[in-house]
A and B are shown apart, each in its own frame.
Chain A
């Protein structure tokens, strides 16, 4: 999978700026935030294979990519978004 299209990255950037909590500790500019979106997408792209490999069998082979992404989303949510 390639990195997200520029419009997709723009849409994420535009959407997150609408949430006060997201930038409530803002010492960042719009350019800083866009750079963060790009960098995280780049990182996920670079490390997609390693992330998949971290999933033990038989889940790795039998879960679809969208389901694995959903799993990852839930873990990130529980780790970092409690109380937000």
Chain B
């Protein structure tokens, strides 16, 4: 597998989204995105699909819980991949593929301990090398497609995009 992109809290786009995570420092100097436990908060990861992109795509999500020591969290991601020349008015319209849900991840027994969870991007809008893409990522706090039972915020540290190369 190969790493095809990484994002930290600073590189998440939240402007314009109706509900979005709070971007803030913890432990004095670590920037995180805090995802609420009660409502789905979303952000965008964007880029140009790199040359050589191939096979199954996954998002590897790194973070920790603010205070929860029991339960699970669920994460979600949906892909919009636009090839130049597509019949899509990007100024007014989105064309996200169906939402991908991660298998609900059990949180560590100690708050603040980092864990990693994976979202397989089965629904990937047929993304191909050179596409201008957006991945709308968030916590499935309302439990639409997962079981999200852990209280309080999930602190997102980093996200990595991998393919099968």
* Residues of A participating in the B interface, judged by any CB pair closer than 8 Å: 10, 13-14, 17-18, 20, 22-24, 26-31, 33
Pick out which of these stretches binds chain A: B7-15, B67-75, B81-89, B157-165.
B67-75
Q: Mark B82-111, 1 if CB is under 8 A from A, else 0.
A: 000000000000000000000000000001
CB-CB under 8 A from A10, the residues of chain B are 38
Determine whether the beta carbon of B66 is less than 8 Å from that of A30: no
Count of chain B residues with a beta carbon within 8 Å of a chain A beta carbon: 17
- The prevalent SS among residues of A at the interface is helix
Interface segment out of the listed B45-53, B113-121, B125-133, B143-151: B143-151
- Chain B facing A: main interface SS: loop
Chain B contacts to A: CB under 8 angstroms = 36-39, 66-71, 111, 148-153
A33 to B70: give the CA distance in the assembly, Å: 12
Please state if A29 and B70 are interface contacts (CB–CB under 8 Å).
yes
Q: Bound state CA distance, A62 and B67, in angstroms?
A: 44
Given contacts A17-B152, A23-B152, A24-B111, contact A29 B71 (CB under 8 A): yes
Q: Which of B67, B69, B71, B111 contacts A30 (CB 8 A)?
A: B71
When C-beta atoms are compared, the residue in chain A nearest to B70 turns out to be A27
Chain B residue contacts of A31, Cβ below 8 A = 149
Expressed in whole angstroms, the Cα–Cα distance for A48 and B66 within the complex equals 35
Q: Besides the contacts A18-B153, A20-B66, what 10 more A-B pairs have beta carbons closer than 8 Å?
A: A14-B36, A14-B37, A18-B36, A18-B152, A22-B152, A23-B152, A24-B111, A29-B149, A29-B150, A33-B151
